[in-house]
Structure 1
Amino acid sequence: MKDNIYTALRESHDRQRSLCRKLLRSQPHTERRQELFSLLRIELAAHAAAEERFLYAPILMHDAGLDSSRHALHEHHEIDEIIEDMQVVRKTGAGWLAKARKLSEKVHHHLREEEKKFFQVSGKILSETQKARLAAQYRKDFQRMHKALSAE
């Protein structure tokens, strides 16, 4: 099967789902919880940046994709806000775990909606050539962002 933007995005979506599950199962007062949160935060940020550049932006240029792109961007912003809240709260308390559950729910909702709705809308707008080109651009930018965020 030829690589396309949707295949590339689903790889990150699968990692996000897995990291959310592991984070919620992690034990309080452990380095593993902090490590999982950091991995998830970096995965989400690198993915969102590259996805916004190489899927949302091109779709925003079409009337048929305007509403769905705006909605997806809004959900990315909501996820960012939850992550920010989680960074300032102690990672051992019940409040932090409640925020982690909220994050996981929001991430799962966003991914489900994106895969079931946004991919269909954008798939009708983009040509096969564009889908392949965007996949290469997304993967390159994702790797660059992941590396930069990991170095912070």
Structure 2
Amino acid sequence: MAETIFEALRESHAIQRSLIRKLMRAKPGPDRVAIFTSLRIELAAHEAAAERFLYVPMLMDDRGLHPSRDALADHHKMDDLVEDLQTRGHAGRHWTATVGKLSEELHDHLREEERSFFQMAGKILTDPQKTALAKKYRADYAAMKTKLTAAG
């Protein structure tokens, strides 16, 4: 069977979980900066593509309206934390505490998305939509990663 949007999203979720774990353990220095940059790019590319190719179709159905709004709010919270981390030095207690908040928000969001949002979306979207959205998501995600990586 062809890949669905959910499988494509779970792949990025695994990358995000791995990067946030590495960031939580990283000591101040170039490695921490590199891990943070990778996480920042991964989150931004994933969020943009997921919002376009999962949340928008879900917003078009009454059953998906509230859960999609909640997921978008989660993305906004994480974006604010990433922006805060990006504007500070990558050391110190505040930076470490903010990484901890980001980790908590990220894990909560991914868990909620995988455990309830995907199930609801699975009932709303047709099988052909699920596979078509996976292809669109993959293409947009790859383009966003390339664009964000080039921008630094």
Which TM class, normalised by the smaller chain length?
over 0.9
Tell me the TM-score normalised to structure 1 length.
0.98
Tell me the TM-score normalised to structure 2 length.
0.98
Can you list the C-alpha shifts for 1:49-93, whole angstroms capped at 9, x where unaligned?
Answer: 000000000000000100000000000000000001111111111
Can you list the C-alpha shifts for 1:88-146, whole angstroms capped at 9, x where unaligned?
Answer: 11111111010001101100000000000100111100011000000000000000000
Can you list the C-alpha shifts for 1:32-63, whole angstroms capped at 9, x where unaligned?
Answer: 00000000000000000000000000000000
| 2:125 aligned with 1:126 | yes
Residue identity matched to 2:50: E
DSSP-derived class of the 1:27 partner: coil
| 2:105 aligned with 1:85 | no
Distance in 1 between residues matched to 2:105 and 2:150, nearest whole Å: 26
Runs of 4+ residues deviating >3 angstroms: none
Distance in 2 between residues matched to 1:141 and 1:90, nearest whole Å: 31
DSSP-derived class of the 1:21 partner: helix
Aligned residues: 151
Residue identity matched to 1:77: H
Per the TM alignment, residue 2 of structure 1 is displaced from its structure 2 partner at its CA by: 2.6
Alignment identity in percent? 54
Any unmatched runs of 5+ in structure 2? none
Distance in 2 between residues matched to 1:88 and 1:147, nearest whole Å: 22
> Which residue pairs with 1:22 in the alignment?
22
DSSP-derived class of the 2:71 partner: helix
Distance in 2 between residues matched to 1:151 and 1:71, nearest whole Å: 31
| 2:144 aligned with 1:145 | yes
| 2:14 aligned with 1:2 | no
